[in-house]
Chains A and B, each alone.
Chain A
Amino acid sequence: MPEKITIENLNAWFETKQALHDINLSIQENMITAIIGPSGCGKSTFIRCLNRMHEVVPKAKISGKVLVDGKNIYESDVDPVDIRRRIGMVFQKANPFPTMSISDNVVAGLKLSGVKDKKILDNIAEESLKKAALWDEVKNDLNKSGVSLSGGQQQRLCIARALAVEPEIILFDEPCSALDPISTSKIEDLMLELKEKYTIVIVTHNMQQAARVSDYTAFFLYGKLIEFGETNQIFKKPMEKSTEDYIVGRFG
Chain B
Amino acid sequence: MKWNKRKLIDRIMSFLTAACVVIAIIPLLSILYTVTLNGISAINIDFLTQLPKPVGEAGGGLGNAIQGTFIVVGIACLIGLPVGILSGVYLSEYGENKFGRMVSFVADVLTGTPSIVAGIFGYTFIVLYFGFSAIAGGVAISVLMIPIVARTTEESLKLVPGSLREASLALGIPRWKTILHIVLSTAMSGIITGALLAIARVSGETAPLLLTAFGNPFWAVGIDKPISTLPAQIFTYAISPFPDWHTKAWGGALILIILILILNIGVRLITRRKYRV
Contact = CB atoms under 8 A, between A and B. Distances in A.
A91 to B, nearest CB: 6
Contact of A89 (B170, B177, B186): B170
Interface string B235-277: 0000000000000000000000000000000000000001111
A53 B277 contact: no
Contact of B166 (A85, A95, A99, A147): A95
Interface in B159-187: 161, 163-174, 177, 181-182, 185-186
B172 A148 contact: no
A81 B174 contact: yes
B276 A148 contact: yes
A28 B185 CA distance: 39
Interface in B131-169: 161, 163-169
B269 to A, nearest CB: 17
Interface in B95-118: 96
Interface in A88-146: 88-89, 91, 93, 95-99, 101, 108-109, 112-113, 144-145
B188 interface: yes
Contacts of A89: 170
Nearest to A98: B186
A95 B169 contact: no
Interface residues of B, number: 24
Interface stretch (A157-165, A203-211, A239-247): A157-165
B171 A109 contact: yes
Most buried by B among A84, A86, A96, A161: A84
B96 A165 contact: no
Given A51-B170, A165-B171, A97 B163 contact: no
A161 B167 CA distance: 10
B171 A161 contact: yes
Contacts of A84: 169-172
Interface residues of A, number: 32
A165 B276 CA distance: 28
A95 B173 contact: no
Contact of B186 (A51, A85, A99): A99
A82 interface: yes
Contacts of A165: 171-172
Contacts of B167: 91, 95-97, 158, 161
A108 B168 contact: yes
Interface string A56-99: 10100000000000000000000001111110110101011111
A112 B96 contact: no
A161 B161 CA distance: 18
Most buried by A among B96, B161, B170, B181: B170
Interface in A226-242: none
Contacts of B170: 51, 53, 84, 88-89, 91, 162
Contacts of A91: 163, 166-167, 170
Given A99-B186, A148-B277, A113 B173 contact: yes
B164 A162 contact: no
Nearest to A161: B171
Contact of A98 (B96, B168, B177, B275): B275
Nearest to B174: A81
A102 B111 CA distance: 41
B169 A56 contact: yes
A177 to B, nearest CB: 14
Nearest to B180: A112
Interface of B: 96, 161, 163-174, 177, 181-182, 185-186, 188, 274-277
Given A83-B172, A145-B277, 4 more contacts: A56-B166, A95-B167, A112-B181, A113-B172
Closest A-B pairs by Cβ, 7 of them: A85-B172, A145-B275, A109-B171, A89-B170, A84-B172, A95-B163, A95-B167
